[in-house]
Structure 1
Amino acid sequence: MWRLAGILHLFIGSTLAGSAIIAALVMGYDDTNGILIAAALGFVISFPVTWLVARQLWQE
């Protein structure tokens, strides 16, 4: 399951971090700190999302 979660995290983490960066840019946070905080927030949020998706895929 850890291998599956690791592979999924590559995709889910980059997707959520990218979406958070785009949201930050749309809201006007176009400085370096705003972009880095948005990327870190998306990366941190991707851990529980990855765990939930991997668990659902592993059970089926």
Structure 2
Amino acid sequence: MLRLAAVLYILVASAVAGAAVIAVLTLDMRQGWQIASAFGAGLIIALPIAAVLARHIYKALEGPKPV
């Protein structure tokens, strides 16, 4: 599951960090530290998102449990 989470993190982190940077630029914050902070926050926020997605996908791939 860790490998799945790592692959998902690459995809999710780029999307979330990119959205955060776009949001900061939309608010007319153009200083370097503001853009870098938004990017860093996006990377941190992507960690639990990737973990939850990996857990759901991993459980879905296991199939139904026998009774």
| TM-score range for the pair, normalised by the shorter chain length | over 0.9
Code of the residue aligned with 1:29 in structure 2: it is M
**Structure 1: stretches of 5+ with no match in the other structure:** none
Equivalent in the alignment of 1:57: 57
What secondary structure sits across from 1:52 in the alignment? Answer: helix
Deviations 1:12-49 (A, max 9, x none): 00110000000000011111011000000000000000
> Would you identify which runs of 4 or more consecutive aligned residues in structure 1 move more than 2 Å?
none
**Structure 2: stretches of 5+ with no match in the other structure:** 61-67
Aligned residues: 60
Instruction: Indicate the percent of aligned positions where both proteins have the same amino acid.
Output: 32
User: For residues 53 and 29 of structure 1, what CA distance do their matches in structure 2 show?
Assistant: 31
Q: Does 1:36 align with 2:36?
A: yes
Question: What is the 5 A alignment of 1:1-60?
Answer: 1-60=1-60
User: For residues 29 and 47 of structure 2, what CA distance do their matches in structure 1 show?
Assistant: 24
- Say which one has the larger Rg: 2
User: For residues 39 and 22 of structure 1, what CA distance do their matches in structure 2 show?
Assistant: 10
What is the RMSD computed on CA atoms of the aligned residues?
A: 0.5
More helix by share: 1
The TM-score normalised by the length of structure 1 is: 0.97
